């Protein structure tokens, strides 16, 4: 039930500038991360690398993201998003520059799995969601949904564009363009995120005390483990293996890229809609519905090799229920755990997402090398998504804790509904 008190005033201009720059920054970093699936078949032919090795490089990047996520979350609580977004974009740019000129395996591992991964871990949904939540009181869910929609909106144009460039100038030109885009945006982000620093109110409680609160919170555990499943079923198996899977099914690379672009378009719609609903609907039920519908979409993947129409239907259905978990999860963290430790909480939850994604990325490549098919990965994703739906239904709904400050240092506990 919505609060009966008078609504807070609309967000100022600088808050919407933060939304805009966050949207663009996420569009670049997430498109860069997704480009691995597009380049995988080409690198396998060019260098003779196995899909296990290439997907293992993607898994390495995701493991580093998992390590960096709570660190970045704690830093955004203390210093705001400005240094994280700027440094992250520079890291992505340098990493992609190395990939563009690579001719040895170690250059791929350092460029994609190392340098770029630093940017993937700092210019990330959990950092953006926390930053936006700090500067919005009214319409927070919608603002988070719009900003984090950049994680897929860029792919709507970038991934099909990269597929075209890949055929015209080769993969090196693709990754060189990604490097340039990230490096150009970095100083722009530094300028436009400056006002957000004024809204930061660093927690005074020791880190150990904040970690204890999270470790003993059932809500945190439900969100952490469900988000790990989210990582497995999205970044892990779809972002890394959908495009190689469509090639295996006999579709040309451009067809797979167009399907991924369609998926990204509906992903953007799903994230914004989920953000809007997070301000109005029962959030645990919303989150459970998203996981349930996502799980059902994996059934379609088992048959796309027989009917190209099902690939389109899958792209639409999965897109609607892909990263739409982000605004609902962020809203529940703000409500149950409070804004002043939201960065740390979201960072740890994002680490679970990255570990789940790493498992999905590696498992997909390993099973393909073993059986030359992805069927078992899709079935495992179905089961995990349904289990996540049941898990989040254990979370109680409350609106009273939104933006609640931390309790006293003497006893740190969640704010009651």
- The pLDDT score that the predictor gives to residue 116 is 95
- The pLDDT score that the predictor gives to residue 391 is 96
- The pLDDT score that the predictor gives to residue 415 is 39
SS3 content of the chain, % helix, strand, coil (to 5): 80, 0, 20
Whether residue 204 lies inside any domain: the answer is no
CATH number of the CATH domain containing 95 = 1.20.1250.20
Mean per-residue pLDDT, 179-206: 79
- The pLDDT score that the predictor gives to residue 417 is 34
Q: How many domains does the chain have?
A: 1
Alpha-carbon distance of 384 to 386, in angstroms, equals 5
- The pLDDT score that the predictor gives to residue 1 is 39
- The pLDDT score that the predictor gives to residue 197 is 59
Whether residue 408 lies inside any domain: the answer is no
Residue 3 has pLDDT above 50, yes or no: no
Residue 301 has pLDDT above 70, yes or no: yes
Whether residue 89 lies inside any domain: the answer is yes
pLDDT tier at 187 (50, 70, 90 boundaries)?
Answer: very high
Whether residue 305 lies inside any domain: the answer is yes
Residue 308 has pLDDT above 90, yes or no: no
Instruction: Find the angle CA(166)-CA(168)-CA(174) to the nearest 5 degrees.
Output: 35
Residue 414 has pLDDT above 60, yes or no: no
Task: Give the structural domain span for 300.
Answer: 13-193+209-392
pLDDT, tens digit (0-9, with 9 covering 90-100), for 355-388: 898 888 888 888 877 877 888 889 999 999 999 9
Whether residue 409 lies inside any domain: the answer is no
Distances (CA, A) of 260 to 11, 34, 93, 268: 34, 10, 23, 12
Half-sphere exposure of 188 (CA within 13 A, CB side): 14
Whether residue 284 lies inside any domain: the answer is yes
Whether residue 404 lies inside any domain: the answer is no
Residue 409 has pLDDT above 50, yes or no: no
Q: How many residues does the chain have?
A: 417
- The pLDDT score that the predictor gives to residue 199 is 63
- The pLDDT score that the predictor gives to residue 203 is 66
Residue listed under structure tokens 């439900």:
222
Contact yes or no for 65/117 (Cβ under 8 A): yes
Mean per-residue pLDDT, 50-65: 85
Mean per-residue pLDDT, 69-76: 87
Q: Report residue 79 as tokens.
A: 């210093």
Whether residue 257 lies inside any domain: the answer is yes
Residue listed under structure tokens 């979350």:
73
Residue 403 has pLDDT above 60, yes or no: no
pLDDT, tens digit (0-9, with 9 covering 90-100), for 173-186: 889 989 999 999 99
Beta strands in 222-306 (DSSP E): none
- The pLDDT score that the predictor gives to residue 309 is 87
pLDDT, tens digit (0-9, with 9 covering 90-100), for 230-242: 999 998 899 888 8
DSSP letter string, 302-342: TTTTT-HHHHHHHHHHHHHTSTTHHHHHHHHHHHHH-GGGH
Residue 293 has pLDDT above 90, yes or no: yes
Residue 279 has pLDDT above 50, yes or no: yes
């Amino acid at each position: 039930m919505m609060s009966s008190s008078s609504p807070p005033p609309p967000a100022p201009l600088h808050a919407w500038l933060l939304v805009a720059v966050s949207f663009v920054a996420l569009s670049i970093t997430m498109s860069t991360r997704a480009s691995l699936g597009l380049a995988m078949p080409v690198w396998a032919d060019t260098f003779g690398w196995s899909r296990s090795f290439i997907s293992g490089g993607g898994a390495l990047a995701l493991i580093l993201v998992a390590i960096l996520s709570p660190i970045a979350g704690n830093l955004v609580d203390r210093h705001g998003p400005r240094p994280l977004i700027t440094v992250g974009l520079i890291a992505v740019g340098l990493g992609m520059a190395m990939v563009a000129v690579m001719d040895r395996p170690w250059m791929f591992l350092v460029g994609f799995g190392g340098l770029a991964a630093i940017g993937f871990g700092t210019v990330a949904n959990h950092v953006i969601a926390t930053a936006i939540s700090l500067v919005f009181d009214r319409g927070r869910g919608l603002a988070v949904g719009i900003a984090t929609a950049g994680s897929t909106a860029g792919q709507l144009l970038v991934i099909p564009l990269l597929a075209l460039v890949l055929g015209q100038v080769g993969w090196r030109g693709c990754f060189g363009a990604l490097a340039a885009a990230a490096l150009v945006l970095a100083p722009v982000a530094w300028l436009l995120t400056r006002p957000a620093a004024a809204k930061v109110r660093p927690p005074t409680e020791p880190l150990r005390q904040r970690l204890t609160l999270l470790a003993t919170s059932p809500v945190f555990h439900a969100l952490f483990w469900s988000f790990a499943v989210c990582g497995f079923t999205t970044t892990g198996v779809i972002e890394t293996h959908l495009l190689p899977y469509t090639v295996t099914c006999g579709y040309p690379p451009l067809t797979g890229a167009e399907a991924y672009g369609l998926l990204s378009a509906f992903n953007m719609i799903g994230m914004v809609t989920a953000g809007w609903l997070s301000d109005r609907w029962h959030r645990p039920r919303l989150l459970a519905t998203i996981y349930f519908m996502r799980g059902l979409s994996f059934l379609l993947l088992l048959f796309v090799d027989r009917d190209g129409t099902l690939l389109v239907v899958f792209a639409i259905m999965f897109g609607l229920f892909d990263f739409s978990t982000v605004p609902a999860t962020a809203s529940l963290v703000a409500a149950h755990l409070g804004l002043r430790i939201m960065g740390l909480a979201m960072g740890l939850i994002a680490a679970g997402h990255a570990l789940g994604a790493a498992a999905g990325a590696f498992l997909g490549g390993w099973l393909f090398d073993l059986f030359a098919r992805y069927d078992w990965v899709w079935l495992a994703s179905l089961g995990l998504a349904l289990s996540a739906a049941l898990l989040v239904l254990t979370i109680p709904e409350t609106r009273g804790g939104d933006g609640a400050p931390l309790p006293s240092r003497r006893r740190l506990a969640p704010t009651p509904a």
